[in-house]
């Protein structure tokens, strides 16, 4: 095999038809999964919302997209444990704590959400402009 030529510059992206369904965005999982379960729908919602908060799929790096997916999976697991606890069932507090810690790690990896255009109050606007003469 020949290494990528530096004369050609950066590698071209393969057409979507030749890419994996997970890579091109047509599937949410590497395998066919029935996403109609509560957990499946919640996972999809979280991936969508977390991606949108970070500017959408075009603005999110592959690393961020992976962190978003991991965060969503951990969140669904924690929420399931919380539902069990609310129903009066015992949960493994150690496992729950580890999941929460891992969520924090993934949150840092996926980066901060893009800040929405915040409407400033009159006082905030005036103080942001500095002293007036």
pLDDT score, position 5: 47
Residue 80 has pLDDT above 60, yes or no: yes
Higher-confidence residue: 19 or 97?
97
Rg (CA), the chain: 21
* Look-up of token digits 């959400």: 113
Asked if residue 79 lies in contact with residue 42, where contact means CB atoms within 8 angstroms, the answer is yes
Higher-confidence residue: 50 or 114?
50
């Amino acid at each position: 095999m020949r290494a990528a030529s530096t004369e050609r510059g950066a590698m071209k992206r393969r057409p979507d038809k030749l890419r994996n369904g997970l890579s091109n965005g047509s599937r949410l999982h590497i395998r066919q999964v029935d996403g109609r379960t509560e957990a499946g729908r919640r996972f999809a919602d979280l991936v969508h919302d977390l991606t949108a908060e970070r500017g959408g799929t075009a603005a999110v790096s592959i690393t961020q997209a992976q962190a978003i997916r991991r965060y969503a999976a951990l969140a669904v697991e924690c929420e399931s444990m919380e539902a069990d606890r609310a129903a009066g069932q015992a949960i493994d507090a150690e496992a729950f704590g580890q999941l929460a810690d891992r969520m924090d790690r993934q949150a840092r990896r996926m980066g901060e959400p893009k800040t929405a255009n915040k409407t400033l109050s009159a006082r905030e606007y005036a103080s942001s402009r500095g002293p007036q003469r």
